[in-house]
Amino acid sequence: MPHTRWTLALLALSQLITSLDFFIVVVALPDIGADLGFSAQSLQWVSSAYAVAYGGFLLLGGRLADLAGRRRLFVAALALFALSSLAAGLATGPGVLVAVRAIQGLGGALLFPATLALVNTLFEEGRARNSALAVWSGAGAGGLALGSLLGGLLTGAFGWEAVFYVNVPLAGAAIAAAYALIPADGPMERGRRLDLPGAVLATAGVSLLAFALIQGPESGWASTPVLVGFGLAVVLLAAFVAVERGSGDPLMPLRLFGNRSLTSAIVIILVFGGTFNSLPYFLTVYFQTVLGHGVVTTGLAFLVPALLIALGTQLGGRLAGRAGMRATLLTGTLGGAAGTAALALGLGSGGYWALLPGIVVLGVSQGLTWTGMWIAAATGVAPHRQGVASGMASTALQVGSAIGLAVLVAVGGVGEATGAALAGGLRSAVMVAAGGMLLGAAISLTFARKQRDAGLQPTLA
């Protein structure tokens, strides 16, 4: 079956669905809390339950995509996501909604690596894959813009339930299209099995790490649940590495770390999660708390950066093909550091116009980096390992985002300060993020120069 633009459009739609869900729920949280009787402390778990499950199951999702078949997992994940979204909209109590959100996070964790693996296997490495990843990346930027805006509009017009119901027709349409547009999976290979001990250890370890990072700012870093979470996560992840070393068919083949492009990309993705990915939170706090904007106005404020990120994703695909990974990622991370520093200078000194120069540079640079890092993570990886490589890379993004947000919230003193002090704290946090992007620029220098990019990495089995 030829891989047409319609196939790519379907894969981009699934990326839109997963990215949309991260942002669309946030603006509905006050209405959810008031209607279902959440306490101020428990309301955060409407978002956190999704994030913990999503981060914990990404690696397993990537491995299942390789073992069970990418189209099979793509369809199953969409079905799980749709059903859990429907159940979330029908929830009548806090416990039910939090539990269903965790299931929804599982659906997203299965869907993301399956989708990325499909892009990386249906489109040949080089110009075709670079262009496809640019489109896929642009859909993620669309989710950023539409999530904040659509969440406010749907909640205002139809109630908070609508932010969950909207996923149902989108996922249903994607499932129907998958059978027409994505090639059927072949029979499952004999002799290959799921590394169950590794799957349990990795899922439990990453989930506990995500829990501790998310709960730390709320409960305190020295609180018993957080310390126990960190301790168990370290033990379980150490055991996971030991199990993988001795497994004949591991969940995460450690030999993949011999691929310099994938390994460097994972480090950059960690940095990206902790810096670029954390900035929307601080901008939201600034717009709503310091400038006093409502949810719809705040959503509209994100349209400009989202469009610029989308532009950057397209430029990233072209630049990667012409100048190579090193130039693409170096340009993106250095530009991001400059734009973020300019953004920090604008915080507290005026309204939206004072932030616009930094937003322009940051948005384009973020798009360049986003596309470039996913291209790098797929380079030199054998087709039957693309799922687990996608799972490794996306897990790095989630862990980096959790660590970065926790660190930057502590630096900025968010939740403890008001007025000018809050603006100063936000400025400090954003400036630290700019410094973190320079680490990404240093890692970019480990990639080969353009003249050696034609054979970037040997394909690793």
- What is the Cα–Cα distance from 407 to 433, expressed in whole angstroms? 10
Q: What is the pLDDT of residue 28?
A: 82
- Do residues 428 and 376 both lie within one domain? yes
- What is the Cα–Cα distance from 347 to 340, expressed in whole angstroms? 11
Q: Are 362 and 437 in contact (CB under 8 A)?
A: no
- Do residues 1 and 113 both lie within one domain? yes
Q: Is the dihedral of CA 394, 400, 403, 409 positive or negative?
A: negative
Percent of the chain whose predicted confidence (pLDDT) is above 70: 94
Q: What is the pLDDT of residue 232?
A: 95
Q: What is the pLDDT of residue 359?
A: 94
Q: Is residue 291 part of a domain?
A: yes
Q: Is residue 17 part of a domain?
A: yes
- What is the Cα–Cα distance from 136 to 15, expressed in whole angstroms? 7
Which is nearest to 81 in space by CA: 165, 161, 143?
165
The whole-number mean pLDDT for each consecutive block of 10 residues of the chain, a chain of 461 residues, reads 77 88 79 84 80 86 87 95 95 93 93 90 86 86 73 83 93 94 79 77 88 81 91 94 84 85 93 90 83 78 86 90 90 96 86 91 94 90 84 87 84 73 88 95 86 46 48
- What is the Cα–Cα distance from 308 to 19, expressed in whole angstroms? 16
Q: Is residue 301 part of a domain?
A: yes
Q: What is the pLDDT of residue 145?
A: 65
- Do residues 208 and 283 both lie within one domain? no
- What is the Cα–Cα distance from 299 to 284, expressed in whole angstroms? 9
Q: What is the pLDDT of residue 134?
A: 87
- Do residues 326 and 393 both lie within one domain? yes
Cα-to-chain-centroid distance, residue 64: 19
Rg (CA), the chain: 21
Two tokens, residue 176: 């129907």
Q: Looking at residue 44, which CATH number applies to its domain? A: 1.20.1250.20
Q: Is 219 exposed, middle or buried (0-12, 13-18, 19+ CB in 10 A)?
A: middle
- Do residues 15 and 118 both lie within one domain? yes
User: Which pLDDT tens digit goes with each residue over 26-42?
Assistant: 778 888 888 998 876 67
The number of domains in the chain is 3
Q: What is the pLDDT of residue 90?
A: 95
- Do residues 368 and 432 both lie within one domain? yes
Q: What is the pLDDT of residue 415?
A: 65
Q: What is the pLDDT of residue 327?
A: 93
CA 258 to each of CA 243, 326, 381, 445: distance values in angstroms, whole numbers, following the listed order: 18, 18, 10, 17
- Do residues 316 and 231 both lie within one domain? no
Q: Are 278 and 401 in contact (CB under 8 A)?
A: yes
Which is nearest to 335 in space by CA: 376, 310, 369, 374?
369
Domain C-terminal end among 211, 233, 248:
248
Q: Is residue 191 part of a domain?
A: no
Q: Is residue 459 part of a domain?
A: no
For residue 155, give its domain range: 1-182
- Do residues 175 and 262 both lie within one domain? no
- Do residues 321 and 416 both lie within one domain? yes
- Do residues 317 and 355 both lie within one domain? yes
Amino acid present at 218 = E
User: Which pLDDT tens digit goes with each residue over 153-166?
Assistant: 888 788 899 999 99
- Do residues 21 and 149 both lie within one domain? yes
Q: Is the dihedral of CA 252, 125, 115, 15 positive or negative?
A: positive
Helix (H/G/I), strand (E/B), else coil: 356: helix
- What is the Cα–Cα distance from 447 to 455, expressed in whole angstroms? 12
Q: Is 47 exposed, middle or buried (0-12, 13-18, 19+ CB in 10 A)?
A: middle
